[in-house]
Structure 1
Amino acid sequence: MKRSSMDRFIDSIEWIAAGFVGIVALDIFLAVLLRNTVNYVFPDSFDIGRMLLGILIFWGIAATSYRGTHITVDLIWANVGPRYQRMIDVFATLVLLFVVTVQTYTLFDKVRGTYRDNVLTYDTHMPTWPFFAVAWAGDVSAVLLIAIRTYRLVFQPEEMHDPKIKATE
């Protein structure tokens, strides 16, 4: 089966998010290993780890938003028919789209502020705005994926790769 360019785009964002999981895990592993074996803490390890974790969170939002694999409460959804389930899915996705769009706007303001104020790390005086910019790119990706999810829920439910979501008339 040939995958659409949209599906490849979605998969790419999910792979980027997975890559950040690996980077954060490697950073933590190296920091603990160096601290416990040779009693060495690499400069800015705390700041870098903290900012990498922030990046991971925003790219994780992107990865989970399209698939709908984030935490949900399906008390009402599970007790209504397929038509109402789809309506609930569309409404919930639109609310999520609004919230993440506002979050993306405010995070861009944070990127701009850290750049303009020349915020640096403590030890090596490395600029922090690139970390915030990468996190913001993850948030932008989340907005794009949530918009794609909304479009597909409304117009192409058969394109959703979730067994819970079925095309309803």
Structure 2
Amino acid sequence: MRIFLEAVPAALLLAMALLTSVSAATRYLINTPVPDEFEISRMLLSIVVCWGMAAAFYYNDHIRLDVFWGRASLGAKKILSRLGTFLSLLIIVAYSVALWLKVLDTMKAGLLTIDLGLSVWGFQFAAWLGTLASAAILLTQTIWPPRHLIDEPHIDQAL
């Protein structure tokens, strides 16, 4: 799971970089950009963001208020951790439902890219899978919180 969460965004970022570089080179060399380069790069970026959220939630490597966390007792840390994870889960589930409805709407509309005629819903579906992975990770962490976040030794105890 961990390798997949890292490999998907990394491969897509590489594809975006290569696509942009090739388009810039062809624009300079033969005065013709790669067809749909901007649209494809934009849609790949949305997939990277959604899968990147899943990786951030998996590693629990997102922004938190360390001012409150550092001063909280062990019991308060457990409560704050579960509460924060649960709130994140609610937000991601709502976002995932909204994105799924957008995927269905785009699929029904038959929206295609201008130059190559690629189906847009496939890109949106791949991004939706990233939000689904985020929701699954957050649900797991809500039920079984990661112990390494709560059982950190305090500075006073280490001395």
TM bracket (short chain): 0.7 to 0.9
CA RMSD between the two structures: 2.0
1:61-140 to 2 correspondences below 5 Å: 61-140=53-132
Larger Rg: 2
Shift of 1:19: 2.4
CA contact (8 A) 1:10 1:145 kept: no
Gaps of 5+ in 1: 1-8
Change (3 A) 1:78 1:33: farther
Correspondence for 2:45: 53
Q: Give the Cα–Cα distance (whole angstroms) in 2 for the partners of residues 75 and 57 of structure 1.
A: 27
Q: Give the Cα–Cα distance (whole angstroms) in 2 for the partners of residues 39 and 71 of structure 1.
A: 44
Indicate whether 1:20 and 2:16 are aligned.
no
Q: Give the Cα–Cα distance (whole angstroms) in 2 for the partners of residues 145 and 69 of structure 1.
A: 13
Correspondence for 1:166: 151
Gaps of 5+ in 2: 153-159
Q: Give the Cα–Cα distance (whole angstroms) in 2 for the partners of residues 32 and 148 of structure 1.
A: 43
Correspondence for 2:133: 141
Change (3 A) 1:151 1:34: farther
Return 81-90 or 11-20, whichever deviates more.
11-20
Q: How many residues align?
A: 153
**Percent identity of equivalent pairs:** 27
CA contact (8 A) 1:120 1:127 kept: yes
Q: Residue type matched to 1:76 in 2?
A: F
Shift of 1:71: 2.2
Q: Please, what TM-score do these two structures have when normalized by structure 2?
A: 0.85
CA contact (8 A) 1:17 1:63 kept: no
Q: Residue type matched to 1:105 in 2?
A: V
Q: Give the Cα–Cα distance (whole angstroms) in 2 for the partners of residues 37 and 149 of structure 1.
A: 51
Q: Please, what TM-score do these two structures have when normalized by structure 1?
A: 0.81
The structure carrying a bigger helix percent of its residues is: 2
